[in-house]
């Protein structure tokens, strides 16, 4: 249980320190692009993809037309749309490739990444840095040896800190969007699924 408690403390510490990277101007630009786009496309690979889906659901609850890239019902992206890509490393091939396609079609691109200077960061119109240990921070060669020796550089596996901090950041962004759009929790409940 000691390791589990240490992991939880490390995750919470990363989330708490995330606010130091939140720039009001960037948040305002994110909100402007999200609310002015005809459709918002969201994407991430693996667990970042789950974070993207959770955010898309909240956008729909707000009345914003949102799609998850890769789902069969996603339409084509156009110049009056935007794409929000979530990638800790900013180098995930499928993410970078999709954003490149979206940009070539004239859409705006928003990025959440730990590496603003990454390929994704360079493609995006607006980048929010989300601090977190990502898979590229791991020295694979020494990882198992460190674990056996009890020398834990991090007790959170792979991109956990980035993914959970991204989820918290995007939920905070929903709160800002609610206020900006004059929406209440009742408005969100109205659009919540009833087919469950």
The residues carrying an active-site annotation are 163
Helices 2-17 and 160-181: angle between axes, nearest 10 degrees: 40
Helices 24-36 and 160-181: angle between axes, nearest 10 degrees: 70
Q: Which of 133, 120, 145, 171 is nearest to 7 (CA)?
A: 133
The 10 Å Cβ neighbour count of residue 40 is 24
Please, how many CA atoms are within 13 Å of residue 25, restricted to the half-sphere of its CB? Answer: 2
């Amino acid at each position: 249980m000691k390791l589990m408690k240490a992991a939880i403390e490390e995750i919470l510490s990363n989330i708490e320190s995330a606010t130091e990277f939140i720039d009001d101007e960037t948040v305002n630009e994110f909100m402007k692009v999200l609310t002015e786009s005809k459709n918002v496309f969201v994407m991430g690979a693996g667990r970042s993809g789950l974070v993207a889906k959770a955010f898309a659901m909240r956008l729909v609850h707000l009345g914003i037309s949102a799609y998850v890239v890769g789902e069969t019902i996603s339409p084509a992206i156009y110049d009056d749309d935007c794409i929000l890509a979530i990638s800790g490393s900013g180098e995930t091939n499928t993410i970078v490739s999709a954003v490149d396609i979206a940009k070539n079609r004239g859409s705006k691109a928003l990025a959440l990444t730990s590496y603003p200077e990454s390929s994704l960061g360079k493609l995006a119109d607006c980048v929010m840095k989300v601090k977190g240990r990502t898979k590229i921070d791991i020295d694979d060669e020494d990882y198992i040896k460190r674990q056996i020796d009890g020398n834990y550089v991090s007790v959170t596996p792979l991109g956990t800190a980035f993914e959970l901090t991204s989820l918290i950041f995007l939920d905070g962004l929903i709160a800002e969007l609610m206020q900006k759009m004059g929406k209440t929790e009742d408005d969100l409940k109205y659009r919540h699924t009833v087919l469950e």
